[in-house]
């Protein structure tokens, strides 16, 4: 049981880290948009979508009893 709990917490920690990364990318994206930096916007959107996809996959690995 303890081993399963460690794995669960790692998944939670990973998801939290990805969420923070997504927030940072969103802030950078908004700044790039406001500055008219279209090449940065495209790069940041791509990075943000990749992080959000990874976050969704990480969230799927968190048991529902921990997600509540």
Residue-wise pLDDT for 40-54, tens only, equals 999 999 999 999 999
Tokens of 43: 């790069």
Q: How many CB atoms lie within 10 A of CB 52?
A: 16
Phi, psi at 60, each rounded to 5° = -65, -25
The rounded percent of the chain whose pLDDT value lies above 90 is: 68
DSSP-assigned letter for residue 61? T
Domain residue limits at 45: 2-67
Three-state SS at 15 = helix
Tokens of 64: 């529902």
pLDDT band at 7; cut points 50, 70, 90 = low
Domain total of the chain: 1
Mean per-residue pLDDT of the chain: 88
Tokens of 32: 């790039």
């Amino acid at each position: 049981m303890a081993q399963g709990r460690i794995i669960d917490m790692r998944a939670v920690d990973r998801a939290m880290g990805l969420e923070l990364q997504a927030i940072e990318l969103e802030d950078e994206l908004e700044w790039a948009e406001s500055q008219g930096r279209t090449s940065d916007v495209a790069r940041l959107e791509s990075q943000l979508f990749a992080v959000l996809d990874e976050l969704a996959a990480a969230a799927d690995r968190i048991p529902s009893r921990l997600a509540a």
